[in-house]
Chains A and B, each alone.
Chain A
Amino acid sequence: MGAELRNYLHEQYYFRLRLGFTALVVLSLFALLASRFYYLQVKQYNHYQTLAENNRISLIPIAPNRGLILDKSGVVLAHNFFVYTLEITPAKIKDLEATIAEISQFVEISPLDRKRFNKLRQESRNFESVPIRTHLNEVEAAKFAVNHYRFPGVEIKSRLFRHYPLGKLGSHMVGYIGRINDKDLANLEKSDDLSNYKGSDHIGKSGLEQFYENQLHGTTGFQQVEVDADGHAVRVLSSNAPIPGDNLILSADSKLQEIAETAFGDRRGALVAINPKTGEVLSYVSQPTFDPNLFVGGIDTENWKLLNDSLDKPLINRPLRGIYPPGSTFKPFVALAGLEAGKRTPPFAIHDAGYFSLPNSRHRYRDWKPSGHGIVDMQRAITISCDTFFYGLAMELGIEKLTSFVRHFGFGRKSDFDIKGEIEGLLPTPEWKMRRFKQPWYPGETVIVGIGQGYTLVTPLQLAQATAILANNGVAMKPHLVAQIQNSLTGKRHILPPVVQDTITLNPDNMDIVRRGMVDVTLPGGTAASIGANAGYSIAAKTGTAQVIGIRQNEKYNEHTINERHRDHALFIAFAPAEDPQIALAVVVENGGHGGSAAGPIARKVMDYYLLGKLPIAEAAKIDVKIPINATGNAATTTPPLVPEEELYD
């Protein structure tokens, strides 16, 4: 009994010893937990508090309404409206094909929609929602909404869409917006504007939409919301309303635009009309045009191919990026150069035998009139567009003097216009030729610059601006399309003041000679006498014809036998009324033939409407002499003179 008790006590002693040990372990481990809690909840409280708040609070951007684009008289050229779109977030979907197939049971999805979706998907990131269908009607939206639960990752969204009510009219001027791509994102990041585009998925891609992006876009608002783990908003904590973008009010008028575009018919070309006193652009035509609405929701491949592969190049902004030899429209500027340099003082005249030759050379630079014009002075040389007169003048002036003078009229440099992508054109000089071709300059090259041929290249905008400077007696006003910027909330308008870019000092007597020569152009005996007939106001003008392909010595150019796309470009510059110019313009009709007959009537219609409010007679629009295109129409593959910037000389 005693031994058992001792044994029992002994056993209990050891047991309690071990129990005590475990109690120590328990306490120390609980102390470890307590210190962990202290670390997390007291020491690191701020850190975890921030993390919890970041979890809980989400900033939802609210995209601002984009500003409107209105013409001079308030006609809407670009506005916004709400449409239902059906959008898919690819990252949330396992089998995209199956899902789309299932959706199409409720909402019609055309092969075109599929193509556009695939294209957009490649351009966007995986977690972004991409529209599969836009412009759902109420019935379709309702049908899908009922079955929405079956399609996680597919949503109906109400998006603000850009719409261009006038469609093709003036699309090169207005431009278009498109979905923000990686390149746009990189640019936004560079300019620190990325945060302002948090809620936006479109950005100006061309035209005024691109140039005035900052004004049109507005300021993104933010809503602070409490979200749950699935990202669903539980309640709004605070919000900061977006500020809508400013409206643009143009100096161009949509009616004038319509008249100008209609006047082109189905011919390719460009027209720019400027108010010479202010620099305001009154009309800006690039033909053919395209429908900018195609680009807003992302253009599908078929339409894109149609536009991009068309021989007519409808996507090229011709006034800015179409480069043409100025031809005879260059002559008034060469004439002024000669007068200002004192090389041709008034009684001076030449006898034109129909050609010009350099000393010690038998090469003949032919006049357009093979028999020659007889006695020709400066004023008459302009009126009848005497080539021989200007060959000699250019030669006497020399290429450096000639180009440095006409450069003041804006040739060979950018005009700082409010649409991006302007091309400089080209005023050739010996240094330029050495750089470009590693060849010396030949005197013969100077000769043909005198009549606007050779290397000389201008854009229609430059030609119009040069005409405007001429009309404004040498004062160069900065050309611009936007006249006013309107705050869309207050309606307050900010009028953009005219900006003097440059002032050329010109002798009024010399200006007078050139002006008179140009006025005579539209009078009987001039090269565009028909254009001035019954105008009711005086028109100072100059016709031009620019060769597309070279004509060899002793070869005769025949408009009727040559391939349509090898035919000469028709050019026409004018300002009116000649004594107090209100409008100055330049017209280019590609492969139109002679400037007076192809481009002149277009200019007349524009001036008639602008100056007199006169609408053209419907029939008059059809003055175009239809020449049958060669039976082998596929030969017409010569690239039009629309050279992409990178391929330009220099």
Chain B
Amino acid sequence: MISRLFHRFVMHIDAFLMACLLFTLLASLFILYSASGQSFERVYAHGINIAVALSVLWLVANIPPNQLERIALPLYLLGVTLLIGVALFGTISHGARRWLNVGIIHIQPSEIMRIALPMMLAWYFAKREGKPKPSHFAFAGLLLAIPVALIMKQPDLGTSLLIAASGFFILFLAGLNWKFLLGVTTLLASLTPVFWSMLHDYQRRRIEILFDPTQDPLGSGYHTIQAIIAIGSGGSAGKGWLNGTQTQLDFLPERTTDFIFAVFSEEFGFLGNMMLLGLFSLIIIRGLVIASQAQSTFSRLLAGSITLTFFTYAFVNMGMVSGILPVVGVPLPLISYGGTSMVMLCLSFGILMSIHTHKKLVAT
């Protein structure tokens, strides 16, 4: 009886993926304990976030993909409406208009878009029978551009670029023409100098500093420099848990959120970093396997996009903290403290599991 109940409980959970996720989340509790200056309250709050996120994951995993397909369009429309609402009536905080006050709760519609846009595009391509024509891609591009432009206007460059990426992955996996891709890439590359010459001096300066933090060591470059020092001084084996001097003596900025990777790197060193990269690789490989085995166009495109978006978040975060990418506000998936992003991430993993565990049911 109990084993049957347990079987029902876990039947839509992918064991391998879940194991990887749980291991990473467990590690995140320890990393956060160190990063927060040994604050149990922070760890407790993070634990609650994880619990909520895992519940969402379980719920979503139990929803068959065809039902998800059905809500793709309404969800997208809702998201765009809310984004317009934000642009018109949103509350301003930290100089950006990102939140919408709906009665008692504040919601951030851009977070909805993180999942709504790939679902919408996957749904759109699934509706087109056969090989998609260039006009389909053009229309998909439009569907992508609307929310991205709205989020960029908030302004939230980091989120808008990552949402654009999640949409682009769908387009690419749906078979976007190689020649077209190559053409656009070369066009953009050749336009860069023109674009550069159109910028004001101060804008150029900001971009220069973005790519080379040492140019402004006491200003905006300070955070990156301190993060790089933390990583480098971690050495091959790390300074040990709770022993990172950059972390414990407050030299690291944003160390529970965007820069938590520097904390991990300082205390666990190159070996720790390799283990984390390995863990992330396992999750990504599992995601790609799920995508490749998915049976419907919708689910394979969506699974591919979710996996690659996860990769993108991880890569951009680690890249920016270690100084090879400019600093854009992107959390490290599964590790950084933050409720909304944790829930959205687990929701997307729930979709992956749903796709994987429901495929026998839809097969004829």
Q: Given known contacts A33-B277, A41-B265, A55-B251, is B173 in contact with A18 (CB within 8 Å)?
A: yes
CA distance A228 to B250 in the complex (A): 6
Pair A52/B245 contact, Cβ less than 8 Å: yes
Q: Which of B24-32, B186-194, B226-234, B330-338 contacts A (4 or more CB under 8 A)?
A: B226-234
- Asked if B288 lies at the interface with its beta carbon under 8 angstroms from chain A, I say yes
Determine which residue in B249, B251, B288, B319 has the highest number of CB atoms from chain A within 10 A of its CB, and name it: B249
- Asked if B354 lies at the interface with its beta carbon under 8 angstroms from chain A, I say no
Nearest opposing residue in chain A for B278, CB measure: A30
CA distance A29 to B308 in the complex (A): 12
Q: Can you spell out 11 A-B residue pairs with CB atoms less than 8 angstroms apart?
A: A15-B291, A23-B285, A23-B288, A26-B284, A37-B231, A40-B322, A41-B265, A41-B269, A45-B236, A48-B233, A229-B251
- Asked if A42 lies at the interface with its beta carbon under 8 angstroms from chain B, I say yes
- Asked if B281 lies at the interface with its beta carbon under 8 angstroms from chain A, I say yes
- Asked if B154 lies at the interface with its beta carbon under 8 angstroms from chain A, I say no
Pair B234/A229 contact, Cβ less than 8 Å: no
Q: Distance in Å from the Cβ of B119 to the closest Cβ of chain A?
A: 17
Pair A52/B246 contact, Cβ less than 8 Å: yes
- Asked if A44 lies at the interface with its beta carbon under 8 angstroms from chain B, I say yes
Query: How many A residues touch B, CB cutoff 8 Å?
Result: 39
Nearest opposing residue in chain B for A47, CB measure: B232
- Asked if B347 lies at the interface with its beta carbon under 8 angstroms from chain A, I say no
Q: Given known contacts A44-B232, A49-B235, A229-B250, is B291 in contact with A19 (CB within 8 Å)?
A: yes
- Asked if B130 lies at the interface with its beta carbon under 8 angstroms from chain A, I say yes
CA distance A648 to B10 in the complex (A): 104
Nearest opposing residue in chain A for B228, CB measure: A40
**Interface readout for A5-21 with B: 1 if CB under 8 Å, 0 if not?**
00100011011101100
CA distance A30 to B175 in the complex (A): 24
Q: Given known contacts A15-B292, A45-B235, A48-B231, is B304 in contact with A22 (CB within 8 Å)?
A: yes
Residues of A within 8 A of B324 (CB): 32-33, 36
- Asked if B297 lies at the interface with its beta carbon under 8 angstroms from chain A, I say yes
- Asked if A51 lies at the interface with its beta carbon under 8 angstroms from chain B, I say yes
Residues of A within 8 A of B285 (CB): 23
Nearest opposing residue in chain B for A52, CB measure: B233
Q: Given known contacts A48-B228, A48-B231, A234-B249, is B284 in contact with A41 (CB within 8 Å)?
A: no
| 13 additional contacts (CB under 8 A) given A22-B169, A33-B277, A226-B249 | A11-B297, A18-B175, A19-B304, A23-B285, A29-B311, A30-B280, A33-B322, A33-B324, A34-B277, A49-B235, A55-B245, A56-B246, A234-B249
User: Which A30-77 residues sit within 8 Å CB-CB of chain B?
Assistant: 30, 32-34, 36-38, 40-42, 44-45, 47-49, 51-53, 55-56
Residues of A within 8 A of B281 (CB): 26-27, 30
CA distance A22 to B307 in the complex (A): 10
**Interface readout for B203-244 with A: 1 if CB under 8 Å, 0 if not?**
000000000000000000000001011111111100000000
**Interface readout for A199-216 with B: 1 if CB under 8 Å, 0 if not?**
000000000000000000
Pair B130/A7 contact, Cβ less than 8 Å: yes
- Asked if B273 lies at the interface with its beta carbon under 8 angstroms from chain A, I say yes
- Asked if B300 lies at the interface with its beta carbon under 8 angstroms from chain A, I say yes
Residues of B within 8 A of A19 (CB): 173, 288, 291-292, 304
Pair A15/B235 contact, Cβ less than 8 Å: no
Q: Distance in Å from the Cβ of B82 to the closest Cβ of chain A?
A: 30
Nearest opposing residue in chain B for A7, CB measure: B130
**Interface readout for A225-242 with B: 1 if CB under 8 Å, 0 if not?**
011111000100000000
**Interface readout for B261-300 with A: 1 if CB under 8 Å, 0 if not?**
0000100011001100100110011001001100001001
Residues of B within 8 A of A23 (CB): 285, 288
Q: Given known contacts A52-B245, A52-B246, A226-B249, is B235 in contact with A41 (CB within 8 Å)?
A: yes
Residues of B within 8 A of A29 (CB): 311, 315
- Asked if B172 lies at the interface with its beta carbon under 8 angstroms from chain A, I say yes
Q: Distance in Å from the Cβ of B314 to the closest Cβ of chain A?
A: 9
